[in-house]
Each structure stands twice: as structure tokens, then as C-alpha cells.
Structure 1
Amino acid sequence: MSVSHPVRPLARVGRRLGLAGAVALTATLALAAPAAAHAEVEADRPQALAENVTLTFVSEAESASAGFREVRVVLPEGIAPTAVTLGKAPKGWKFTATEDGYTLAGPALGTGVDAEYSVKVRQLPDAEELAFKTVETYDDGEISRWIELPADGKEAEQPAPLLKLKAAAPGATPVGASPTPSETAGSPSAAASSTPSPKSSSKSASESASADEDSGTSTGLLAGGAAATLLVLGGGAWWFLRRRAAGTSED
């Protein structure tokens, strides 16, 4: 008598279901995965108001026939081009500050070679996220623009490199917030402080009035004394002349 083995068909069904599930999961992940960023940025200290921060950028090579020869970056608000200095860069590439960011250019890199470099920023702004819009130029003239920002919850097709920041450390302040002595001397507040207050102005005015009054009194005394002196001298001269006239008549 033969014995049936119902387990084997069930095992086959299980394997088929597992394979189908894996395929479906792979397809779902592939559809749900966001578009890969082709220009990226990282920081050694991703924190708001952090000072002397090193930013590392990577531009992924996409061309099958040319290499990078220039990368241009527009800095986010709060970072001045003069506050950025070059760290590491491809050999022969030079850093040039622009009005809104900087360019890094030099001999073309090899086809398929990523452009990787670093810059140092004096201080990061007080923000939650920073966007570094990047324009890449290949030696054949092809240009890739990674300048788009997410909007309405949708992923950008050509996203700009984004750097998320942690909250600023307690007590951290923007560099240059405290004015220098020279700035203080020429500032409106300094000019205001040098202007006498109403109270001190009133005091000065009263002191000036007292001084004028004292001056007037002294002048009056001097004038009175001079008049008395003139009267005495005049009276003496009159008496002398009268005596002389009397003596002449007796002779």
C-alpha cells in the first residue's frame, strides 16, 4: 500500500509564494526609494552657529565621455563668500570667491572620477537646514545643475545638496555680534551716549546762568569803583583850582 506525502506540494507552494513576495518587495522598494543625490555635502560639526566647520562635497560623475573641470556653489544665506576657505581639492584646482558663493576649477578629471573637495566655514548660520546649490561643468561643455529644493513634500528631480543642522549650543552667538571699540565709537548708540542728557543739560544751563550772574556782579562792582575814583579825583582837582584862584586874588 502506497503512502501519500502531502508535505511536498505544500513546500513547493511555500517556496513559490516566498519568491513572489521577494520580487514584489524589491519592486516596491525600488519605486519608493527617493532619487539618489548626485551632489552631496557633509560636515564635521553639523550644528547651528558652530565655528570653523569643515564641509566636504562630493559631485558624482555621470558622463561616460568627459570629466569634471569646474564646480560652482551658491552659498546659503548666512554664509559670506569671504568666510569660506579651501581645504582639500583635486590637484591643480583653484578656489575663487564670487558674489554669491565660489567656484572651484582646474584640469579636467578623468571620465567617471567624482569631484571631491572640502572647504572650511568660519561659522554656520542659525538654521535647521542649509542648501548648497551646485552647478557642475564637464570638459566637453555639459552642465549638470543640482539646484532644486523639495517643495510641497515632493522630492526634487535635481536636488541641491542639503545639510541638516542640530540646534545651536547653549550660549552660542553669531561671530561679530559684539562691536569692536572702534565700531562702538562711531556707532549711533555711541553718538547718543555722548549727547548730554536733559538733566545734565539743565545743570549746565544753570551753571552757565550763575557764571553770567557772577560775571555781571563783578562788572558792576568794577564800574562802581571806577566812578567813585573819578569823583574823588574830580573833586580834588576842583578844590585845588579853587584854592589857587583864591590865592591869586589876594595877591
Structure 2
Amino acid sequence: MGIAGPVRPVRVILAAAAGLAAAAVFGAPALAHVEVEADNTQAGARDVTLTFTGEAESSSAGIKSERVVLPAGISPQDVRLAKAPSGWKLSPNADGFTVAGPALKVGQDAVFAVTVAQLPSDATELAFKTLETYSDGKVDRWIEIPEAGQPEPANPAPVLKLKPAAAAPTSASPTPSSAAPTPSSAAPTTTDHANASDNTGVNKGVWISLVAVAVVAAVIVASVLRRRRPTR
């Protein structure tokens, strides 16, 4: 009996602590979020697949749609559905898109993926405000933008951090073209051949003239000699 006295207060304290812990756990609001991941987080990347996970928080209804507001630099026409729960389809909106279909089971997260043609090249992070609708009509609005140095807001929008864009390739300066090849030798001239031909022609003309003169002289001499012969 002497031992039971001091033990009882200890049990009471432990029971009270357990009760407070249980109250803190079950009384705290569910910290469900919508998360986004990418297979390429480099700014300016093309054909990037974004995977969204909408965590279920209702204990009585299933998620039936996810409406995403696109950040600046991405248009609804640049997005196509890559993966979604069975029966869900993508519909473009004026400022984003909606992926919806038959309500999921209670407690089942909504996981879907879209492919974006190109991420903005000058952004460091992208916020995708998301409205999550349940089969009972309840809408969770994950649209608050977290700010650096501030506590996380109650309903944060999914944010994708980006790496800097790849440096644009610098075009190599054109190498100077090699100098135009100079002619290896001057084109052969025909001056010498022409001169040779002219000389040959002159020489032939001189000889012909001399022969003609000799022939004429011989004829004249013969004629003179005939006239001087005495007649018989």
C-alpha cells in the first residue's frame, strides 16, 4: 500500500500528457497540399513533363477535378495531357486547364501529369495556383504564393523552382577565307610564235621577189642578145 501512493500521481500525469497529445494530433487541421514536380527544371527547357499530386483530405468525398492556373509564359495551347486517373480528361481554360473525371475513392490522391511545350526562359520559379474540387462540392483553393523569409501560407500554391536557362551558344567568328590562289604561271603568250611566223613569211617573200627579179632580168638579157645577132 505504501508503494501505490506515489505511483498514482505519475500515472495521472502520463494520462493527461497522452490526452493532450491526442487532442493536438486529432484536433489539428489536415495539412494537405498540391505538389508539382518536373522531369527537367531548367528554364527554357522544351517538352517538360509536370507531375501534380493533389493530396486528398476529405474523409467523406473523393476528388473529382483539378483546375490549374498557368503562370506567365505558358499558354493553355502549349499544354497536353500526359497521365491522369482513369476517365479523366484535360480541358483548356482561358488562364490554364482543368483535369477532371469520375470522383476518386475517398482518401485517394489525385495524380496527373501534363507536358508543356516550353518553360519560360527568364523565370526562376513557377507557381501553379490550383483549385481542387471534391464530389460533395467542397473546393480547396491552393492559390497563395509562398514568400521567402515568411511562414508558409495556409493554402500554398504548388511552386516549381527552376535552374538558370542554358547559355546561348556563341557563334564562332568566321575564319578568314584563304587568299584566292594566284596563277602559278602567266598564261603562255604567242608573241614569239607570231614573230617567228612573221619572220618566216618575210624571208619567203624576199626570196620570191629575188627569183622573180632574176627571171625578169634573164628574159630581158635573152631578148637583148637575140636582137644583137646578125641576120644571115
TM range (shorter): 0.5 to 0.7
- Contact preservation (8 Å) 2:89, 2:99: yes
Determine which of 87, 101, 112 is the counterpart of 1:92: 87
Paired residue type of 1:79: I
Determine which of 132, 140, 147 is the counterpart of 1:144: 140
Cα 1:65–1:115 shift into 2, 3 Å: same
Structure 1 CA distance, aligned partners of 2:115 and 2:72?
16
- Contact preservation (8 Å) 2:81, 2:113: yes
Question: Greater helix percent: which structure?
Answer: 1
- Contact preservation (8 Å) 1:37, 1:159: no
Question: What is the DSSP-based 3-state SS (H/G/I as helix, E as strand, rest coil) of the residue aligned with 1:87?
Answer: strand
So what's the TM-score if we normalise by structure 2? 0.58
Q: Corresponding residue for 2:176?
A: none
Paired residue type of 2:149: G
RMSD: 1.8
How many residue pairs were aligned? 139
Determine which of 39, 43, 48 is the counterpart of 2:43: 48
Structure 1 CA distance, aligned partners of 2:146 and 2:129?
13
Determine which of 153, 158, 174 is the counterpart of 2:149: 153
* Deviation of the 1:171 alpha carbon: 1.4
Structure 1 segments of 4+ aligned residues over 4 angstroms from their partners:
none
Q: For the pair shown, which has the larger CA radius of gyration, 1 or 2?
A: 2
- Contact preservation (8 Å) 2:32, 2:57: no
Cα 1:50–1:141 shift into 2, 3 Å: same
Structure 2 CA distance, aligned partners of 1:159 and 1:51?
27
The superposition leaves residues 160-187 of structure 1 with CA deviations (integer Å, 9 ceiling, x where unpaired) of 0000000001118xxxxxxxxxxxxxxx
Determine which of 118, 129, 132 is the counterpart of 2:125: 129
Q: Corresponding residue for 2:106?
A: 111
Determine what percentage of the aligned residue pairs are the same residue: 60
So what's the TM-score if we normalise by structure 1? 0.53
Structure 2 CA distance, aligned partners of 1:106 and 1:116?
12
* Deviation of the 1:37 alpha carbon: 5.8
Q: Corresponding residue for 1:27?
A: none
Q: Corresponding residue for 1:60?
A: 55
Q: Structure 2: which 5+ residue stretches go unaligned?
A: 1-29, 170-232
Structure 1 CA distance, aligned partners of 2:36 and 2:148?
23
Paired residue type of 2:161: K
* Deviation of the 1:153 alpha carbon: 2.6
The superposition leaves residues 116-135 of structure 1 with CA deviations (integer Å, 9 ceiling, x where unpaired) of 00000000002000000000
Cα 1:85–1:38 shift into 2, 3 Å: same
Q: Structure 1: which 5+ residue stretches go unaligned?
A: 1-34, 173-251
Structure 1 CA distance, aligned partners of 2:166 and 2:154?
34
- Contact preservation (8 Å) 1:132, 1:162: yes
The superposition leaves residues 44-87 of structure 1 with CA deviations (integer Å, 9 ceiling, x where unpaired) of 00010000000000000000000001110000000000000000
Question: What is the DSSP-based 3-state SS (H/G/I as helix, E as strand, rest coil) of the residue aligned with 1:160?
Answer: coil
Structure 2 CA distance, aligned partners of 1:119 and 1:150?
23
